[in-house]
Structures are given as C-alpha cells and as structure tokens.
Amino acid sequence: MDFFSAFVKYVPLVVIGLIPIMNPLSTVPLYLALTKGMNAQVKRRQIRNACFYAFCILLVFLLLGNGMISLFGISIPGIRVAGGIIILILALRMMFSGEDQAASVDAEPEKIMRTDLDFSFSPLAMPSLAGPGSIAVVMSYGSEIPREETIAGHAIVITGIAITVFSAYLALIAASRIERFLGPHGIQAVTKIMGFLLTCIAVQFIASGVRDFIIAFSGAHAG
C-alpha cells in the first residue's frame, strides 16, 4: 500500500479514536465558566494556547512513548491492554455519569479565575483536552506503527492528532453557539454517544493486546 492510500485510510481512524476520548464538547462548559466576563481577544488567545499545548503534549507522548516502554521494560501488548483498560474506564464513566471524569478539575471555575493565572495549559489543555485517555490512545497507536513504516506511521498519527485538536479549536470557538443550540441535555447526550464509541475502541485495543500476548506466549512455549 502506497503512502497516499495509507494516509487516506488510517488518518480518519486516528481521528475517530481520539475524538470520543478528547470530547471537545465536555470542555465547552468549563471553558465558558472560566472565560465569563473576558473580552473576545483574550478568549481566542486562551483557545489557541490550549489547543497548541494539547497538541504538543500528545506529540511528546507519541514520539517518546516507545522510549518509555523500553526504559521500563513494558511490552507492546502490555501498553495496548493498559491503554484499553484506561480508555474503557473513562468511556464507561462518560456513558453512565454523562461526563469524562478525567477532564474534571478539583477547583471550581470561580476559584481558578480568582488566581488570575493563564489557564490555557491547565485545566484546558491538560487534563481536559489531553488527559490520560487521549495520551493512552496516542501511545497505543504509536505502538502499532510497524518498524519499517516508522516515518509514514508517525506522520499519519500526527496528522490525526492535528485534525482532532483543530476540531477542538472549532468547538471552543463556537462554544457559546453550541451551548445555546444543544443545551445541557444535548451536550450530555452527545457525551454518552461518544462514550459508547469509545467503549468499542477500548475493547478493540484490549483484544488486540490479549491476542498478541497469546501469540507471544505460544511462540515462547513452543520454543
């Protein structure tokens, strides 16, 4: 398969895997609360910075993920199963509580605002947009890149990350309109749907990891 065909085939799969766990709609209420009373220019700057930071966080974990695996002696099937379990837990929370608990913060928006700090990195970029679930998805995709296709594989995943982060940028730019159009119940319904899609993706990650464990164990036992 040539690079263009692989690009067209796999980039959408990366986006589909990341969109439900990043779930930009779950960040909209927090963003609206934090930016209440700010002028449009400051709001846009916060959105740009948050999306830039989220992209950089995911990029770092994609590029350094295999190094972390080697450093700690973790197998590729292990990271797939672990990532799948983390994603599954977050997905079930999204389905049954209506929100992604990994994207929540301990402090109330009013308290965060009173500190008069730039909140684009935390809590918007991390953990809301680039939380443990998104990181797990990126590392899982990175672990599936064939060694002989390292450059092309990373280019595909990075493109998928960029498209996903851009979709988050668009969602935050249109936050006020989305809130008025969907309302709290609509946002909750979309979150539950994304939670279901994410559950399917998590099960696939776990099944893939378990399959590789079985293959590796069978080969070692036969040897």
Cα–Cα distances (Å) from 135 to 39, 78, 129, 138, in that order, read 32, 15, 10, 5
Q: Which two tokens stand for residue 208?
A: 């893939």
Q: Which of the residues in the chain have pLDDT under 50?
A: 100-104, 112-115
Tokens standing for residue 176: 């006020």
Contact criterion met (CB below 8 Å) for 30 and 110: no
Q: Residue 47: its pLDDT value, please?
A: 93
Distance between terminal CA atoms of the chain? 33
Whole-number pLDDT of residue 115: 44
Give the tens place of pLDDT for each residue, 70-93.
777 777 677 678 777 876 786 787
The verdict on pTM exceeding 0.85 is: no
CA–CA separation, 63 vs 216, rounded Å?
Answer: 25
